[in-house]
Structure 1
Amino acid sequence: MTPSIRDMTAADTDGVAEVRVLGWRHAYRGLVPQPHLDAMDPAPFAAGLRRALPGLPAHTSHLVASAAGRVVGWACLGPYRPQDADWGEVRALYVHPDVLGTGVGRALLTAGTARLRAAGLPRVRLWVLRDNRRARRFYERAGFAPDGAVQSDEIDGADVPEVRYARG
């Protein structure tokens, strides 16, 4: 599949929210409490994207991958949080489960990191769930490696550990 990669528009937000929810439900099954995944609602996320889109901070991008007239992937990128000189961050990257393994994720990652590099952010970090083996393999094939930083989030009372990956 050869998706079209472009900036997200307000018209894309419902599709992006659907991809995000489906992506979470697929990728995080068994890693995040199932009631949390079941309760995810794309509508509030889409509304938040629509509100935030006009005032995005400098060098922050929402990219979509579209194919056959529908959103099949989404990436959010920007300066690393907290601000760290010349580091960018892949804040989110989700692909519709129906198109996993077709190159959509790779196309989004490539376009997004090129955008960060053009903005003067040549080094890139991202956080990935420690036990999300598929995602970790994906990022490792793209030249990312764990840099030793770890953190943990609590989701519905469950500890969800993450590791930080870096490239550059």
Structure 2
Amino acid sequence: MSAAAGITIRRASAGDIPALARVWHESWLESHGALSFGVHPDVADFERRTAKLLPGCLIAEKATGACGFTAWEGGELYLLFVLPVAYGTGLGEELLARAEVEMAAGGPNEIFLLCRAGNDRARRFYEKHGWR
């Protein structure tokens, strides 16, 4: 059980792809929509991209379904998204902490992420947690 009440975080599997894509799509529209130059992929686009994220992917779930996820490859934290209704609940912090542990266990000498220019909310979140 995670620090966010009533939420379980586990490794994602192929059966989770539709739920991961839905979370990614909804969260992406909220966080990146204004930065996308009018290009708004649909859920099917995210499903195709999500399949490539496994096995370095954790999904956060509550009784009503998926509410967040994080994905990495090697030393790169590739994605971290939570549904907008979960902003400020601690879920993002829990996913980040779990991803950091998983990535370090994988052996890279350095872990990193890229944050899109203009995504100030994400930049502040990562900086708050020691990322530069």
Q: TM-score, normalised by structure 2?
A: 0.86
2-structure distance, mates of 1:122, 1:131: 29
CA contact (8 A) 1:8 1:63 kept: yes
C-alpha deviations, 1:50-72, integer Å up to 9, x for none? 4x47xx5xxx5111111124111
For 1:30, the aligned partner's letter is A
Larger fraction in helix: 2
Matched, 1:45 2:46: yes
Give 1:160's aligned residue.
Answer: none
Percent identity, aligned pairs only, is 31
2-structure distance, mates of 1:5, 1:122: 25
Larger fraction in strand: 1
Report the secondary structure of 1:90's partner residue: strand
CA contact (8 A) 2:23 2:68 kept: yes
Q: TM-score, normalised by structure 1?
A: 0.69
Matched, 1:71 2:66: yes
RMSD over aligned CA atoms reads 1.8
Matched, 1:61 2:56: yes
Which has more radius of gyration?
Answer: 1
CA contact (8 A) 1:73 1:95 kept: yes
Give 2:88's aligned residue.
Answer: 101
2-structure distance, mates of 1:31, 1:109: 23
| Higher RCO (CA 8 Å, separation ≥ 6 residues) | 2
2-structure distance, mates of 1:9, 1:75: 13
Task: Give the length in aligned residue pairs.
Answer: 128
2-structure distance, mates of 1:48, 1:131: 23
Moved over 6 A (4+): none
Shift of 1:136: 0.4
CA contact (8 A) 1:116 1:122 kept: no
Of residues 130, 144, 163 in structure 1, which corresponds to 2:117? 130
Of residues 6, 16, 23 in structure 2, which corresponds to 1:19? 23
1-structure distance, mates of 2:127, 2:45: 32
Distance 1:122 1:106, change over 3 A: farther
Q: Which runs of 5+ in 1 are unaligned?
A: 80-87, 146-168
Distance 1:43 1:116, change over 3 A: same
